[in-house]
Amino acid sequence: MSASEFLSQSPEETIAKGREIAALLRPPVIVLLSGELGSGKTTLTKGFISGLGAAREEEVTSPTFTLVHEFHNHCKVYHVDLYRVEGFRELESLALEDALSGRAIIIVEWSERFSLRTDWPRVEIRLEHAGGDSRRIEIAGLE
């Protein structure tokens, strides 16, 4: 698995990185984001979503599970945030398997909270505070 590391110095840089990554995403793929509160998962997701042309940055919030967009070629883009999900029963109630049954790009915040069962290709991204507005972004699994 190829891995790379990037140091972002601002939210804008993180969003730009997200757009760059988005250009390399091919469905089906699940993007697993991990890292503590405020490390930039949602900010990076804004870059993914706007880079994919699925929605505008300002439309990206953090609902637990949302279908952001369905393209004409039937590719769907989902944004999942597991922060408030309390247990496996609640995880199951999200019906993630519905999302996983189609051709989709699924972006998951707080992916470290549960291990999601899927054989889909995965891109794993860890975000870390690195002092002030710096964030270390470690990317694995991106071709």
Binding piece for ligand ADP, criterion CB under 6 A, among 30-38, 53-61, 71-79, 97-105 = 30-38
**Binding test (CB under 5 A) with Mg ion, winner from 16, 62, 136, 140:** 62
Interaction between residue 66 and Mg ion (CB under 5 A): no
Four-CA torsion 116, 123, 140, 82, nearest 10 degrees = -50
Cβ contacts of residue 72 below 8 Å, gap of 6+?
Answer: none
Provide the token pair at 90: 């609640």
Cβ contacts of residue 142 below 8 Å, gap of 6+?
Answer: 2, 4, 21, 24, 123
Q: Which is nearer to ligand ADP, 10 or 93 (CB)?
A: 10
Distances (CA, A) of 30 to 11, 51, 129: 23, 16, 23
Residue 101 interacting entry, from ligand ADP, Mg ion, none, C-beta within 5 to 8 Å by type: none
d(CA 111, CA 27) in angstroms, rounded, equals 18
Residue 111 interacting entry, from Mg ion, ligand ADP, none, C-beta within 5 to 8 Å by type: none
Interaction between residue 93 and ligand ADP (CB under 6 A): no
Residues that bind Mg ion (CB under 5 A): 41-42, 62, 109
Residues that bind ligand ADP (CB under 6 A): 8-11, 13-14, 35, 37-43, 109, 133, 135
